[in-house]
């Protein structure tokens, strides 16, 4: 193997490792107040919902029809295309957890909210990651 091929191989390996790390965010958190990274894991979001002690809102950014078919308990529905005009009614420093079908629209909604000054926005990803039973209908329950 030539030196150039060796360098290219190392760079490709580093790129693959970086992509893998980006697709699998760390689920380890310090647990310190303000550390929201641990809530990316479904089981920990369940804990957050059950605790009810922290100021947060869960926003389903799918369409109303998708929302009615099954959503996380307590989630409000704001279509990602409308979130800039109808942001969640919480303080800008409250935790906002977004989710959709796969995580792509939730990511767009997260970016919009962050541009609007929301400080603690977490993209939960897809609704299928929710390990508990979903709620159907129009109400967040």
Rounded-to-integer distance, Cα 128 and Cα 32, Å: 28
For residue 7, what is the domain's CATH number? 3.40.250.10
pLDDT at position 28 is 38
pLDDT at position 40 is 45
* Residue at 94 is within a domain: yes
* Residue at 11 is within a domain: yes
pLDDT band of 77, cuts 50, 70, 90 = very high
Percent of the chain with pLDDT over 90: 51
* Residue at 140 is within a domain: no
Average pLDDT over the chain reads 79
Domain count for the chain: 1
Q: Please write the tens of the pLDDT for every residue from 120-137.
A: 999 999 999 898 899 999
Q: Please write the tens of the pLDDT for every residue from 58-72.
A: 999 999 999 999 999
Residue range of the domain that includes 73: 3-129
* Residue at 93 is within a domain: yes
Q: Give ∠ CA 10-13-17 in degrees, rounded to 5.
A: 140
The number of residues making up the chain comes to 141
Rounded-to-integer distance, Cα 124 and Cα 58, Å: 9
Task: Tell me, yes or no, if 100 is annotated catalytic.
Answer: yes
pLDDT band of 24, cuts 50, 70, 90 = very low
Global confidence as pTM: 0.69
Percent of the chain with pLDDT over 70: 68
User: How many helices and strands (H and E) does the chain possess?
Assistant: 4, 4
* Residue at 39 is within a domain: yes
If one compares 54 and 81, the residue with the highest pLDDT of the two is 81
- Percent helix, strand, coil in the chain (nearest 5)? 40, 15, 45
Q: Which of 45, 48, 61, 100 is catalytic?
A: 100
pLDDT at position 50 is 78
């Amino acid at each position: 193997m030539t030196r150039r091929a060796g360098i290219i191989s190392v760079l490709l390996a580093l790129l693959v490792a970086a992509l893998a790390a980006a697709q699998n965010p760390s689920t380890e958190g310090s647990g310190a107040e303000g550390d929201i990274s641990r809530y990316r894991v479904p089981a920990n979001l369940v804990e957050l919902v059950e605790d009810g002690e922290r100021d947060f809102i869960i926003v389903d950014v799918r369409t109303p029809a998708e929302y009615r078919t099954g959503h996380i308990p307590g989630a409000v529905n704001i279509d990602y295309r409308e979130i800039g005009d109808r942001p969640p009614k919480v303080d800008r420093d409250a935790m906002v957890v977004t989710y959709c079908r796969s995580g792509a629209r939730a990511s767009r909604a997260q970016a919009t909210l962050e541009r609007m000054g929301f400080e603690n926005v977490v993209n939960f990803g897809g609704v299928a990651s929710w390990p508990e039973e979903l709620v159907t209908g129009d109400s967040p329950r």
